[in-house]
Amino acid sequence: MLAAASAAFGILLLEIGLRLAGYQAIYDVYSKPSIFWEYDPVLGWAHTPGSEATYVGPRPWPIEFSTPIRINSQGLRGPEIDPLPPMGVRVLLQGDSRVAAFEVAYEDTFGARLETGLSEELGVPVQVINAGVRGYGTDQSYLYFLERGHEFNPDLVIHVHSGNDTRNNVTIHRMRRPFAKAAFALTDGELELRGAPVSAYPLCSAYRMGADFKLRKISSRSSEIVCGFQMLLADRSALFTLLTLRLVENRALVNILYGLGSPTRSDLIDQKSTLGAVGYETRLTRALIRAFSDAVEANGSNFLLFTGQPVSAAKAIAPEDIEVLDPSKALEGVSPRSVSYQNDGHFNEQGHRLIAEYLTPRVAAFLRERGIPPGSPGPE
């Protein structure tokens, strides 16, 4: 007990010394992923209208970006939405962090660049509305369109599908995330939303909907204890920040330490279900994209799927009649390190530019084939 007390006292003195020397706790250095979020009873979370701050990351690696972010009065990244001019075209861009793109300035996002490129290509004013929200799955993007997105009356909705969407679609609560979400159950080919209005869950807990459509806790008691330690003490310690920044060169070690407070890979696979979790996640995602596309078309709009996977792989989640854009072709022959942040993994300015250059002529051709803007040649 004396040794433990002495060690604790020594650590306390070191912590005080580091604070006096100007070192900060990790959450004073980096931005929380939820910095712009507020609770939403249907979506789980959404952007706080009118919020503004600088987004710094990626935690816990050396800082790669420090980006001023502004959320407009409608909870969207970017400027206020002006009335659409005569002959104008409106595109609604939906998805997760790849769309929100907090890592780069707004004018450098592929959405803003797409707006400029389409205006030049089509010869009419084009508005590209950025409705991306970090952490969203296909289900939340679909719900967003039903709840809010349809009110913009877009000519085209582009849904950006990320590789982690299939898992997000069965996730109820992720560890360390302040808000949970609802989830759809796919029963007899029909989608049924469960868990709305969204309930609160302990911060250090993880839940998912199994393929048997039952809520399942996947966090262990040990992972919850470690997570609690990280959230309550370690993340607020200047000493922890100093040690973390010294450890980042050993990526494997950092992943192991972080993993101590997270569910394991085996926890994420619902082995108790006879339906098969992986197959169910894929079927659910396919059904959500089908429902999303149908809702967009019922609103008088057009739908495009933009996936981070090759088109051949995207066929598992994309109904055959839905057109899929494959951005990997825009990056052929390009070093991944040149288009993405090394530790964060999201696109940098170069990556966004190349994606916009790939999308612009293809989206313009897609719109022209459908007679948009009026006067454009329709489909043959």
Per-residue pLDDT at 26 exceeds 50: yes
Residue 226 has a pLDDT of 86
Residue 241 reports pLDDT greater than 80: no
Nearby residues of 65 by Cβ (< 8 Å), 6 or more positions away: 55, 56, 57, 58, 103, 104, 341, 344
Percent of the chain residues past pLDDT 70, beyond the cut: 88
Where is mean pLDDT largest: 66-80, 231-245, 324-338? 66-80
Q: Which CATH superfamily is domain 31-219+263-369 in?
A: SGNH hydrolase (3.40.50.1110)
When pLDDT is averaged across residues 138-152 and rounded to a whole number, the result is 98
Cα angle for residues 124, 125, 129 (degrees, 5° grid):
135
Q: At 290, list the tokens.
A: 């089908």
pLDDT at 30: 87
pLDDT of residue 91: 98
Which range is least confidently modeled, 163-167, 197-201, 274-278, 375-379?
274-278
Q: Which residues contact 240 (CB under 8 A, 6 or more apart)?
A: 25, 26, 233, 234
Q: Is the pLDDT of residue 42 over 90?
A: yes
User: What does the pLDDT read at residue 279?
Assistant: 86
* Residue-level pLDDT at 74: 97
- pLDDT at 274 exceeding the cut of 50: no
- Single-letter code of the amino acid located at 371: G
Strand partners, 207: 173, 217
pLDDT of the residue at 380: 43
Question: Which of 226, 193, 220, 197 minimizes the C-alpha distance to 207?
Answer: 220
Tokens of 117: 């490129």
Average pLDDT over residues 170-195: 93
SS3 content of the chain, % helix, strand, coil (to 5): 40, 20, 40
DSSP alpha helix (H) spans, 213-273:
221-232, 238-247, 251-259, 265-268
17 C-beta neighbours (distance < 10 Å), count: 12
Q: Between the ranges 2-16, 104-118, 247-261, where is the mean pLDDT highest?
A: 104-118
Question: 115-141, pLDDT tens digit by residue?
Answer: 999 999 999 999 999 999 999 999 999
Q: Is the pLDDT of residue 262 over 60?
A: yes
Return the pLDDT at 142: 98
Asked whether the predicted pLDDT for residue 280 surpasses 60, the reply is: yes
Query: In sequence order, what E strands does 105-164 have?
Result: 126-130, 156-161
How many residues are there in the chain?
380
Domains of the chain, by residue range, sit at 31-219+263-369
pLDDT of the residue at 259 = 65
Q: Which of 141-150, 225-234, 264-273, 310-319 has the lowest mean pLDDT?
A: 264-273
pLDDT value, residue 167: 92
Whether the Cβ atoms of residue 270 and residue 211 lie closer than 8 Å to each other:
yes
Residue 49 has pLDDT above 90, yes or no: yes
